[in-house]
Amino acid sequence: MSSKDGPGASPGPSSEAARKRLRQQATRDTAPEMALRRELHRRGLRYRVHVRLLQEVRRTSDIVFRRAGVAVDVRGCWWHGCDDHRPAPRANRDWWFQKRERNRSRDDDTLRRLEAEGWRVLVVWEHEEISSAADRVELAVRGCVIKRQAAENSANFGRALRGSRRYRDV
Ligand SMILES: [Zn+2]
């Protein structure tokens, strides 16, 4: 990556170390998402990936369970600025800070919009253990499916429970 890649007149990553970190981060951003998807699949959950749920803005949700109305947003600690892992780079501090702040406010905005449209949004951070993240997602998805099915026909509640064990997003 060259320094021309920075937005406008702002400098991009200045050192070789920063460039290396940028490259690593780009792949690390997707690694937790892939791991989570594998684990959810292993548990019998089926989902869509990178779905655009909002009409008014061009943003996609990472993992989507349409029938349950659950959307999962997997966030890399560095780019999305989690509260625990926000290292301040020595060079170009402002450029990085502004980039992360932009990401954070866009994340917040997306979450608000999705929730306004009735989606249950789960945020999974890169630093979260995959199994506990998968637990949260599984609980939310199966819970939402059961609730919806039960509401449709309370007599079928037992069947809804059994059916949800092999959840498929259709
Ligand atoms: Zn973190």
Tell whether 3 is covered by a domain.
Answer: no
Tell whether 137 is covered by a domain.
Answer: yes
Yes or no: say if 77 and 127 are a contact pair by the CB < 8 Å rule: yes
What percent of the chain has a predicted confidence (pLDDT) above 70?
68
pLDDT for residue 11 is more than 70: no
Q: What is the pLDDT of residues 93-121, one digit of tens each?
A: 778 788 888 999 999 999 999 999 999 99
Mean pLDDT within 8-17: 55
pLDDT for residue 74 is more than 80: yes
Q: Domain range spanning residue 24? A: 14-164
Question: CA-to-CA distance for 21 and 78, rounded, in angstroms?
Answer: 10
The domain tally of the chain equals 1
pLDDT higher for 9 or 22?
Answer: 22
pLDDT higher for 70 or 29?
Answer: 70
Beta strands in the chain (DSSP E): 48-51, 61-65, 70-75, 120-125
Pairing between β-strand 70-75 and β-strand 61-65 as defined by DSSP bridges:
antiparallel
Q: How far is the CA of 81 from the centre of ligand 1 (A)?
A: 7
Tell whether 133 is covered by a domain.
Answer: yes
Q: Write down the pTM of the prediction.
A: 0.70
Q: How far is the CA of 156 from the centre of ligand 1 (A)?
A: 42
Question: CA-to-CA distance for 109 and 21, rounded, in angstroms?
Answer: 27
Tell whether 9 is covered by a domain.
Answer: no
If one counts every other C-beta atom within 10 angstroms of the C-beta of residue 133, the result is 22
Q: How far is the CA of 147 from the centre of ligand 1 (A)?
A: 32
Mean pLDDT within 144-149: 76
Q: What is the pLDDT of residues 13-67, one digit of tens each?
A: 566 666 665 555 554 447 899 999 999 999 999 999 999 999 999 999 999 999 9
Q: How far is the CA of 14 from the centre of ligand 1 (A)?
A: 24
Q: What is the CATH number of the domain that holds 155?
A: 3.40.960.10
Tell whether 6 is covered by a domain.
Answer: no
Mean pLDDT within 7-11: 43
Tell whether 5 is covered by a domain.
Answer: no
